[in-house]
Structure 1
């Protein structure tokens, strides 16, 4: 499916190739051709695993996680009374990651979402994300209020932070060496709630042999300065993505200028 998209969609092909090239220029250990070819296949896997993650029972999906790396960070966060913000970029199996959190974390979990481009998928997505301890929160003012309420109650939230926010809701900061309009909501939530921030993702094992969950503590801290906080966020995302760069969603238009956003300064 990934290769079908590559050959039939010039826009998709160009965006994936350009973003993968940026990553290779950012990190000299990355071979661009290998990254691009592997990423195409991983995009296909990501599309095919969606319905399985959405339609299978929560315990069945959670059991597909056969190894957890950094579990000590999760255990330490759960041992503290402060709320937890789980942060996962579009890396690996994002739906499996959310289902695993809803199953493994003994707290309410509010997950921020944006409606999919294919409207018929939304009921399936919402039904999946409203299972176990999880509740779906739309990416609007109503959803933000739900996140704030959940954090105030000492529970947890799940955020995918690498989508370009609406104009006025972000700041320009480097992401793999190029400026990207980056959300500031995460930093505001973390500072107002004093929550523990944990970065995580579900890495696909080769040969369909399940997934590896990764948990990483945040490096650095949020200060209240929008640009500095956006930069700190992107640095943490880069570090996580480089653990499995072929499984990142390089086809996403990460470097666009959203409507209403200020123009970026020249790089």
Structure 2
């Protein structure tokens, strides 16, 4: 199975980005039409967040684009990437600070650490948190996709958390998706678009480490296969308040920060993601 999947991925990795996005648009709508569960979740989440009109319907196709572009990002030729706010990264690295990137499931969240590694990785590598697939046969394939010069991957385990903390202490960069539902015992219930969502406490724990600079980042997907723009903003520019010491308060603040980023491009958020699920064993 893995050999066949790798062959398909290698073939798709050679496709032009615009063609992959066209394929992804069709895949996104196909998934929406074929899955009643997915449609119900998408409807509930977009209504909760007040997403209407073109942005709401465009998010269906954009979800498929996020999947279709992965082979090109992981195994293909480099894609065009522009930057907005790269000076904030330069400033943090110049002061020897560890940099924590917080990125929601918005746009192309796979492109942000790769773009960082290409531009800044020689100065300070980036380590990204990922959840290994349950299928053991796929783990090596995806681990290979997420390892490249200037970029390392840390599994969502205790050992992976130690890896992230060590990277920050060395003045390197760390990236994670704080709107990803954590396992039971590793999160708290905090509002997300007005509804309680089980939210990781790891993001706040990392942000509160000494000397860490918190930057909010997301990769905007441009139309017609033109590439991406990585947007970077300091925490205080978005939130205008320090991160609370209390875990529940900090989780709520981080959720509000993610909402602010999502509001910039609601058509590119994964509204079908099961953000409000209850992990087994979580009260």
2:57 aligns with: 37
Relative to structure 1, the CA distance from residue 121 to residue 193 in structure 2 (aligned partners, 3 Å threshold; closer, same or farther) is: farther
1:253 aligns with 2:274: yes
Residue matched to 2:203 = 186
> How big is each residue's C-alpha offset from its partner over 1:102-152, in whole Å with a ceiling of 9 and x where there is no partner?
112221211100124666554332112110111110001010111111111
Aligned partners of 2:257, 2:39: CA distance in 1, in Å? 27
Choose from 84, 97, 115 the match for 1:100.
115
Alignment of 1:156-195 (within 5 A): 156-195=173-212
**Residue aligned with 1:112, SS:** strand
Which of 39-48 and 219-228 deviates more?
219-228
Q: Cα RMSD between the aligned structures?
A: 1.6
Question: Could you tell me which of 49, 68, 73 is aligned with 1:48?
Answer: 68
- Structure 1 SS opposite 2:69: helix
Aligned to 2:83, the other structure's residue is in SS state strand
Q: Secondary structure at the match of 1:94?
A: coil
**In 2, Cα distance between the equivalents of 1:37 and 1:118?**
32
The 1-side partners of 2:135 and 2:104 are apart by 21
CA distance in 1, matches of 2:43, 2:63: 13
1:63-110 CA-partner distances (Å, limit 9, x unpaired)? x11x31122222222222110011111111111112111112221211
Query: What 5-or-longer segments of structure 2 have no aligned partner?
Result: 1-26
What is the TM-score normalised by the length of structure 1? 0.89
Asked if 1:19 corresponds to 2:45, the answer is yes
Find the counterpart in structure 2 of residue 222 from structure 1. 243
Question: What is the alpha-carbon distance in structure 2 between the residues aligned to residue 53 and residue 193 of structure 1?
Answer: 33
Structure 1: which 5+ runs fail to align?
A: 25-29, 263-267
- The structure 2 residue matched to 1:5, chosen from 13, 31, 55, is 31
State the match for 1:27 in structure 2: none
Query: Residue 146 of structure 1: which of 142, 163, 174 is its match?
Result: 163
Cross-structure match for 2:8: none
Match of 2:264 among 215, 233, 243: 243
Contact 2:113 2:126 in 1 (8 A): no
Distance 2:141 2:83 in 1: 27
Residues 110 and 137 in structure 1, CA contact (< 8 A), matched pair in contact too: yes
Q: 1:23 to 1:119 in 2, by over 3 A?
A: farther
In 1, the alpha carbon distance for the partners of 2:58 and 2:135 equals 25
TM-score, structure 2 length as denominator?
Answer: 0.84
Query: How many correspondences in the alignment?
Result: 251
Segment of structure 1 superposing worse, 113-122 or 131-140: 113-122
CA distance in 2, matches of 1:129, 1:237: 24
Shift of 1:162: 0.8
